């Protein structure tokens, strides 16, 4: 998408797409404003089904402020840091299963299962239920990629309805268990939480569960895959990282900027809004394109260069302002641990095929669907 972002952005930072009546924001300042200015740009976008309206990310203040405070308690720096040993253990286990083969599909064998396990454990779901989680998450993702009507959209919505019913039944049971025997997990916290003196409804708990499931792994999966892809595409930067491993956190920030896992979000204008002298009328869908903002040459020098030492790097891959990603510390930790374990153990990796890598089918997330790699078999 990147060359076309450049073209579009230099043509105009605010573009109206007449067929879908969608307004695209492409430059850094415009995107940043739309993400944070909830008074002008609402996050209550008409969702494909009303159910997602229970999601924090699609809510506005004042309700958003209260729900966010509640979930933030689960993602304190201390709570996140305590996951480090477990993430390391999981990374090692996954590599143990493939390392002797000398080849793997990085996506299927590593970058999908790792974040999925971490989020499932964090939520407090039994390990045996993880295949179900994967399936649910795929359906929810498919839903968020379907913008227009038509048969495909109808099929996806039906699948989502089925999955939502399944999840509701599954959660009702887990919620029952947690009410009887509280545990030290996120689900217990959600069950016991109060907003304005009232418990969350089961529908709200379901909304959190769905959002965290999708937000918690699809994006982090892409961050890990995109990092390995960037290292393969830029061997000089990989060599630099190998000689100075302390650059890993800064390299991860550059991957977030250069190949942003979330390329775009949605907003809806509450009133007529002027951006760069263009007036977007009230009630219109707006797409702030994060992936384009992060390559805006007005903000980043040599914006199309992948540079693991970039400093400063004020990318907005985790959003900006009131909806800033709650999972950012967790995503950064998962990326740091998984990539350092990978780099320690996997030497001389290259793409296993000359064919161009296929992207995941998605409008707003960015990463490879598969990444077959070959490497020196190790221990
Ligand atoms: C919000 C990106 C990982 C949970 C967001 C937003 C972005 C984002 C751009 C802002 C959405 C908006 O303004 O409308 C990412 C990326 C990730 C990642 C790039 C990984 C590389 C995670 C993880 C979790 C998570 C691991 C949870 C475990 C959330 C939640 C919100 C959010 C709950 C909504 C916050 C709110 O509306 O106040 N994320 N995310 N994310 N993210 Fe993430």
Which residue puts its alpha carbon closest to atom 12 of ligand 1? 323
- Atom of ligand 1 minimally distant from the CA of 331: 26
Q: Which helix (H) or strand (E) is 5 found in, with range?
A: helix 2-11
Measured in Å, residue 325 CA sits from the centre of ligand 1 at 4
Decide: helix, strand or coil at residue 279: strand
- Atom of ligand 1 minimally distant from the CA of 222: 21
Measured in Å, residue 363 CA sits from the centre of ligand 1 at 16
Which residue puts its alpha carbon closest to atom 41 of ligand 1? 327
Q: Report whether residue 214 contacts ligand 1, using a CB cutoff of 6 Å.
A: no
Measured in Å, residue 189 CA sits from the centre of ligand 1 at 20
Nearest to 2 by CA among 303, 248, 236, 312: 303
Residue 201 CA neighbour count, 13 Å, CB half: 5
Measured in Å, residue 117 CA sits from the centre of ligand 1 at 18
Q: Report whether residue 319 contacts ligand 1, using a CB cutoff of 6 Å.
A: yes
Q: Which helix (H) or strand (E) is 236 found in, with range?
A: helix 235-243
pLDDT of residue 146: 60
Ligand 1 pocket mutation, candidates 124, 254, 325, 330, criterion most atoms within 8 A of CB: 325
Measured in Å, residue 211 CA sits from the centre of ligand 1 at 9
Contact yes or no for 337/88 (Cβ under 8 A): yes
Q: Which residues of the chain have pLDDT under 50?
A: 48-51, 148
Ligand 1 pocket mutation, candidates 44, 111, 215, criterion most atoms within 8 A of CB: 215
Measured in Å, residue 226 CA sits from the centre of ligand 1 at 17
Domain ranges of the chain: 2-376
Q: Report whether residue 325 contacts ligand 1, using a CB cutoff of 6 Å.
A: yes
Own/partner pairs for 232-237, CB < 8 Å, 24+ apart? 232/349, 232/350, 232/351, 232/373, 233/306, 234/306, 237/306, 237/307, 237/308
Which residue puts its alpha carbon closest to atom 2 of ligand 1? 318
Q: Report whether residue 57 contacts ligand 1, using a CB cutoff of 6 Å.
A: yes
201-256: pLDDT as tens digits: 888 888 888 788 878 878 999 999 999 999 999 999 999 999 999 999 999 999 99
Which residue puts its alpha carbon closest to atom 35 of ligand 1? 323
User: SS3 for 13-75, per residue?
Assistant: CEEEECCCCEEEECCHHHHHHHHHCCCCEECCCCCCCHHHHHCHHHCCCCHHHHHHHHHHHHH
Q: Report whether residue 316 contacts ligand 1, using a CB cutoff of 6 Å.
A: no
Q: Report whether residue 327 contacts ligand 1, using a CB cutoff of 6 Å.
A: yes
Which residue puts its alpha carbon closest to atom 4 of ligand 1? 327
pLDDT of residue 162: 83
pLDDT of residue 59: 86
Q: Report whether residue 228 contacts ligand 1, using a CB cutoff of 6 Å.
A: no
Measured in Å, residue 105 CA sits from the centre of ligand 1 at 26
pLDDT of residue 331: 96
Measured in Å, residue 26 CA sits from the centre of ligand 1 at 20
pLDDT of residue 50: 47
| Helices within 77-185 (DSSP H only) | 77-81, 84-96, 106, 113-123, 130-145, 151-180
Measured in Å, residue 2 CA sits from the centre of ligand 1 at 22
- Look at the block and give the residue holding tokens 């879908």: 20
Q: Report whether residue 213 contacts ligand 1, using a CB cutoff of 6 Å.
A: no
CATH of domain 2-376: 1.10.630.10
């Amino acid at each position: 998408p990147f060359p076309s972002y450049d073209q579009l952005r230099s043509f105009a930072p605010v573009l109206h797409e007449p067929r879908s009546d969608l307004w695209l924001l492409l430059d850094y300042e415009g995107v940043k404003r739309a993400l944070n200015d909830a008074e002008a740009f609402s996050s209550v976008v008409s969702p494909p089904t009303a159910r997602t309206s229970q999601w924090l990310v699609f809510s506005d203040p004042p309700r958003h402020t209260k729900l966010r405070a509640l979930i933030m308690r689960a993602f304190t720096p201390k709570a996140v840091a305590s996951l480090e040993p477990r993430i390391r253990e999981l990374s090692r286990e996954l590599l143990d299963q493939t390392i002797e083969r000398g080849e793997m599909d990085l996506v299927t064998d590593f970058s999908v299962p790792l974040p999925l396990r971490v989020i499932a454990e964090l939520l407090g779901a039994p390990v045996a239920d993880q295949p179900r989680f994967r399936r649910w998450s795929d359906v929810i993702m498919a839903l968020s990629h379907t913008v227009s009507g038509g048969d495909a959209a109808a099929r996806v919505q039906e699948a989502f309805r089925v999955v939502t019913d399944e999840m509701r039944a599954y959660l009702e049971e887990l919620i029952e268990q947690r009410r009887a025997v509280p545990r030290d997990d996120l689900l217990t916290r959600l069950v016991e939480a109060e907003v304005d003196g009232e418990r969350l409804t089961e529908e709200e708990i379901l909304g959190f569960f769905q959002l965290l499931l999708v937000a918690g792994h699809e994006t982090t999966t892409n961050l890990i895959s995109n990092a390995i892809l960037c290292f393969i595409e830029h061997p000089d930067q990989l060599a630099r990282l190998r000689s100075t491993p302390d650059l890993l956190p800064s390299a991860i920030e550059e991957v977030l900027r250069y190949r942003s896992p979330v390329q775009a979000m949605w907003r809806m204008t509450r009133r007529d809004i002027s951006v760069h002298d263009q007036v977007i009328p009230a009630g219109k869908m707006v797409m702030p394109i994060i992936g384009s903002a992060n390559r805006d040459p007005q903000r980043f020098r040599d914006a199309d260069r992948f540079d693991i030492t970039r400093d400063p790097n004020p990318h907005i891959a985790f959003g900006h302002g009131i909806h800033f990603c709650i999972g950012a510390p967790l995503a950064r930790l998962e990326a740091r641990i998984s990539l350092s374990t990978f780099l320690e153990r996997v030497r001389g990796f290259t793409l296993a095929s000359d064919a161009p890598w296929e992207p995941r089918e998605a409008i707003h997330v960015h990463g490879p669907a598969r990444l077959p790699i070959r490497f020196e078999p190790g221990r």
